[in-house]
Amino acid sequence: MIDLSRIQTIGIAGAGTMGTGIAQVCLQAGYKVILFDLNPHMLTKAKQSIEKGFDKLVEKGKISAEASQKAFSQIVFTEDILQVKAELVIEAIIEKLEIKHSFFKQMAEINGPSCILASNTSSIPMTQIAAQIPHPERVLGIHFFNPAPVMKLVEIIAGVATNPQIALLCKELINGMGKTCVMAKDAPGFIVNRVARHFYVESLKALEENIATYEDMDELLEASGFKMGPFKLMDLIGVDTNFSVTSSMYQLFHQDSKFRPSRIQQQKVDAGQHGRKTGKGFYSYE
């Protein structure tokens, strides 16, 4: 018997686009949330973003103003990692294995062995993440997609050591938030990022080879039925985030050429043109 009542508070690490979106989803579902980030500026932006998200829900009549205020009152924004005490912690931090290891080791010390530790990683196998964490049976992947409050799909990824009952509990928990969960095998990129990687990589290769402009490729693919072309989608996700996932998968697949990161995308990242969040990516949003 799966007991969802054991989860009352959800800790979220990383107040970037994904962490902020996940926090809003959890608040809407009635959970207490602790949003942690070392950068106070990111926490301020996250607070403004979540407030704006709830305002839109009120405007559309999806929730009442009272329900919005009650939900927002359930979140704590903090720069102090010692305050991240919860039954479930979801990290949405940088896509680097050593940093994730360091964070989860601290969470294990702060929260003890009963706390479920979940990663929102886009590409790193959960078995690698869990390998150095005490009680790896409570470590798994809960992979939301951007924008988290809108996108229905969530991948649940169990590592080799993950307790199947914990994976099922998390699946039921996330389904209860109005999402659609799929159980993915523990392989680089899981399902969606492995399949979708070539949507971006091949488009970037075509751009490098001057086969077409990025505007034309977006227009053609949208005319073919895609809701958003690859370059508009990279700007929405974050050019830096997309590049990080591609680079990670390139290494995890032993430099398989089909996952080779793009020089053009690397230049965008180096120039700080990360898409909508910076005001400029492939397109300008200023």
Give the neighbor-by-neighbor strand order of the sheet with 32-36. Answer: 75-78, 32-36, 9-13, 88-91, 116-119, 139-144, 153-158, 180-184
| Catalytic residue from among 193, 203, 244, 248 | 193
**Range(s) within the chain of domains with CATH label 1.10.1040.50:** 192-277
**Range(s) within the chain of domains with CATH label 3.40.50.720:** 4-184
Topology, domain 4-184: Rossmann fold (3.40.50)
> With contact defined as beta carbons under 8 Å apart, do 59 and 37 qualify?
no
Q: How many CB atoms lie within 10 A of CB 271?
A: 12
Known catalytic residue at 202: no
Q: Going by C-beta distance under 8 Å and a sequence separation of 6 or more, which residues neighbour residue 43?
A: 15, 35, 37, 77, 78, 79
| Catalytic residue from among 68, 119, 120, 122 | 122
| Catalytic residue from among 68, 143, 248, 274 | 143
What integer pLDDT is reported at residue 1 of this predicted model?
Answer: 57
Q: pLDDT for 131-143, tens place per residue?
A: 999 999 999 999 9
In words, the CATH class of domain 192-277 is mainly alpha
> Mean pLDDT, to the nearest integer, of 218-244?
94
Q: What is the pTM of this model?
A: 0.90
| Catalytic residue from among 111, 155, 244, 248 | 155
Known catalytic residue at 122: yes
Known catalytic residue at 143: yes
Q: pLDDT for 251-283, tens place per residue?
A: 999 999 999 999 999 999 999 999 998 999 999
Known catalytic residue at 155: yes
Phi and psi based region of residue 104 (left: phi greater than 0; alpha: psi -120 to 50; beta: remaining): alpha
